[in-house]
Chains A and B, each alone.
Chain A
Amino acid sequence: MNIIIDDKTCPAMAGEMLLTVARRNNIHIPTLCHSDALPGQATCRLCIVEVVEKGRAKVVTSCVYPVTQPMEVHTHSPKILALRRTIIKLLAARAPHSEDIQQLMEEYQITIPRRLHGSSTESCVLCGLCVKACEKLGLTAIATVGRGTGKKISTPYDEPADDCVGCGTCAQNCPTGAIPIEEQPTRRTIWGKSFELLSCSVCGHAFTTREQWEHIRRQVPGISDTPVCESCRKQQLCAQLRRGHQ
């Protein structure tokens, strides 16, 4: 089926999310909490758009809105722009030092209202990507704690988590750089827990924590006994394939 996004006709499959269709058609909708690998957060609300279906207009969140019928979508209507601006102001009031949010403020020509200025010095916007990433890896080292305005992301009882393997996937997925990760040549510290780094048995590059390597070995039976880093693994795989080809 075809849907119309900002006057452009876009082919879409039933069940696809509106944001996916828009991005495939080079229509830019801002997001903070969306990740193709970890979809469905719908927490930052930046991707709101106006949808007209069967003559009825409504504001929806494009990252979780499934296309089910022909529709007209406005990603930058005056109403959406006004709402999105307010949401950016609220995000900026919470995490004023985040680069992504500063960029959004520039793009939407926003200054933080005096009243909201300095109301928080956080950098976490509680998008939830870190928690979801941790869950996807089969770990639950971090979770949202509490509710309401006091909600935060933390380890159980704010103590170093037994389940944390120091992989750093949470920090990699954080859109606002809110999870501090400290890298030294042979050690990594994250969530208040320090990890020994293991070196690649091929190139000698320190690339993983002992706990992460053990976790991977539990999850992927038959993987080599000694740690091999990603690039060396690729090279090994290529060599294997080449040999097989010959």
Chain B
Amino acid sequence: MKHDTGKKVLVCCGTGCLANGSLDILTGLRQRVQDTACGAVRVEALIKATGCNGFCEKGPIVKILPDDVSYYRVQSTDLDEIFASSIQKNEVVERLLHLDAATGQRIRSQHDNPFYKKQTKLALRNIGEIDPTDVEDYRERGGYQALGKALQEMSSEQILEEVCVSGLRGRGGAGFPTAQKWRQCASYAASPKYVVCNGDEGDPGAFMDRSIMEGDPHTIIEGMLICARAINAAAGFIYIRDEYGLAVKNFAHALQSARKQGFLGKNILNSGFDFDIEIVRGGGAFVCGESTALMASIEGNVGEPRAKYVRSVEKGLWGQPTVLNNVETWASIPPIIQHGGQWFHSIGTATSPGTKVFSLVGKVRNTGLVEVPMGITLRELIFDIGGGVIGNREFKAVQSGGPSGGCIPASLLDLKVDFDTLTAAGSMMGSGGMIVMDQRTCMVDVARYYVNFLAEESCGKCVPCREGLRNLLNILTAICQGKGCADDLDLMAEICAAMAEGALCGLGKSAPNPVASTLKYFRDEYLAHIVDHYCPAGICKELTDFVINPDLCTGCRRCVKHCPADAISGNPKEVHSIDPAHCIKCGNCIDNCRFQAVQTMKGGSSQ
């Protein structure tokens, strides 16, 4: 007997869920379906692997259609129950549903989950819904229809005009108007022209491009094809950082299937138009995400940027007119052609239309990938979608725009996020990383961390960036060790100014942002380090002692258990104490105390 359940089960196989064992979930479910083949009742259900659903904090995620039930943190031990209740029958496993922290209610559908409710999925529209290795899945959701329209119904000028009306700005960070870039490139007669996709996502904490390349590679191919048609380009390249193994694999697979289906290669869809795309694997240098360095790298040269006084649209890859856009930008093109520029322009703000994908990471409760209309406030992003700060600690700052972005303080939480507001606040959109920080984050240490990253990852070509970062790092390290002096802040500001104006490329010009923004918003914290030799967040070890406030300590022994150095003593229900001679200042006690009884003091003062 056959029992066709009509069920489609989508198992999230994004990198986060894979790391949490979603492959076992996928094979486990498939096995259970298969095992019924020899039994009395053969169960039929479609089990599919999809890209990242975004809610990485609660992975692995399993969605069951058409019931529209989403299960979170699914383990192998849950599979029998899921199979019996939700696949063979139409029942719901309550305990695997999302628990809304605000209402205490279990939520059945993904659409009702507060994490997804405020999102508008455009670049991520297919991710989590389709199997990225199945081009038919993409086509079922309207994939390659925009290409058909662009090839058969639209002239080059009409494509350019549609993109122009949409107001789309480059999602790689700088926000340059996409249509303007394409138009300029189209205006040059030189041939061949190239189309390049920048998939060298290097910002720590950013994974939106990865998610698109892994979860919906065909949308990138389609976007590049449409541009190639508009500017009459001969070939395309996608530069994927080599660490993104799954992205390389899925994209290579997508290229093959696109060729098979006649979307790439000669005479595409009988239009007489030829175009193909090649994958170039990046070596992991952060600077190769800079467009001119990326092109140098594709050419086989050292990945160093050049001065952009002659733009890449005129002389880019191998000196030929080149359009380079970021993954997310390419992913936005097919819906713009399909639904019209006006439709896209109606989303977001007037100067930054559309949506933006952000990766919410750091001390935020719901770590993950979200796509929201431009103009959403930081508060909505971090508190409504992100669920606020872990452990209900006080929000201190959010670092946006990657390592060369800036730190935005709590006073600006109601800032409406778009390209221009972030820049005005001393940060930038960058690729869309949002690293949330709480009171246990030392802003001097944060600046030092990012400057250290940049000092290693700058290409090292020009003096202001390389030497500026070297000296900023020296100064910040000294301040964190309590060796700061009064002139340091002015000197750092001077170096920052020289870098911002004098560096060769966009990376060097924005590299002082972590220092400049923390100097602007958290100057008091710098002064505490320099003048008082005190780190208010209790992070800089030389400047911190941990002490237990006897009035607040309940003697619960939680800190004692978490102390890796056995530096805390005290009997149950008696006030505990920390032995400064043994304390390694790891901060486990303060992070684990439920009564705010562990407090920081100036280093050396408790001895």
Contacts and interface: CB of A to CB of B under 8 A. Distances in A.
Interface of A: 42-45, 48, 59-61, 64-66, 79, 82-83, 86-87, 90-91, 93-94, 113-116, 119-120, 125-126, 128, 143-144, 146-151
Given A126-B466, A146-B460, 5 more contacts: A90-B464, A90-B471, A119-B471, A144-B302, A144-B460
Contact of A113 (B461, B491, B502): B491
Interface string B447-466: 00000001111111111101
Contact of B467 (A82, A83, A94, A150): A94
Contacts of A90: 463-464, 467-468, 471, 495, 498
What size tier do the contact residues of chain B reach? 35 or more
A147 B471 CA distance: 16
User: 4 nearest interchain CB pairs?
Assistant: A151-B460, A86-B498, A90-B467, A149-B470
Contacts of A82: 497
Given A90-B467, A115-B488, A148-B455, A64 B307 contact: yes
Given A87-B464, A115-B485, A148 B475 contact: no
B474 interface: yes
B504 A147 contact: no
Contact of A147 (B460, B464, B473, B495): B460
B519 interface: no
B450 to A, nearest CB: 13
B469 interface: yes
A43 B461 contact: yes
A125 to B, nearest CB: 7
A91 B310 contact: no
A155 to B, nearest CB: 16
A45 B458 contact: no
B463 A91 contact: yes
B457 A147 contact: yes
B487 interface: yes
7 contacts: A45-B464, A83-B497, A87-B498, A91-B467, A148-B460, A148-B469, A149-B458
Contacts of B463: 43-45, 87, 90-91, 94, 125
Given A43-B463, A87-B463, A126-B461, A148 B456 contact: yes
A75 to B, nearest CB: 14
A42 to B, nearest CB: 5
A83 B458 CA distance: 20
Contact of B475 (A43, A115, A150): A115
Nearest to B466: A149
Contact of B501 (A83, A93, A115, A149): A83
A66 B474 contact: no
A83 B488 contact: no
Contact of A59 (B310, B494, B501): B501
Contacts of A114: 485, 487
Contact of A119 (B287, B469, B470): B470
A147 B503 contact: no
Contacts of B475: 115
Contact of B466 (A59, A86, A116, A148): A148
A149 B503 contact: no
B471 A116 contact: yes
Residue among A42, A59, A93 facing the most chain B CB atoms (10 A cut-off)? A42
Contacts of B107: none
A15 to B, nearest CB: 10
A146 B498 CA distance: 24
B460 A42 contact: no
B502 A83 contact: yes
Contacts of B485: 114-115
B446 interface: no
B462 A45 contact: yes
Contacts of B502: 45, 48, 59, 83, 86-87
A61 B462 CA distance: 11
Contacts of A126: 460-461, 466
Given A43-B462, A90-B463, A113-B491, A66 B309 contact: yes
B167 to A, nearest CB: 23
A169 to B, nearest CB: 20
A65 B460 contact: no
Contacts of A147: 285, 287, 303, 456-460
Contact of B462 (A42, A59, A149): A42
Interface string B490-517: 0100110110011110000000000000
Nearest to A86: B498
Contacts of B464: 45, 86-87, 90
Contact of A42 (B457, B488, B501, B504): B504
Contacts of A94: 463, 467, 470
Contacts of A128: 461
Contacts of B471: 90, 93, 115-116, 119
A65 B309 CA distance: 6
B456 A149 contact: yes
Nearest to B459: A147
Contacts of A65: 307, 309
A66 B310 contact: yes
B307 A115 contact: no
A59 B504 CA distance: 11
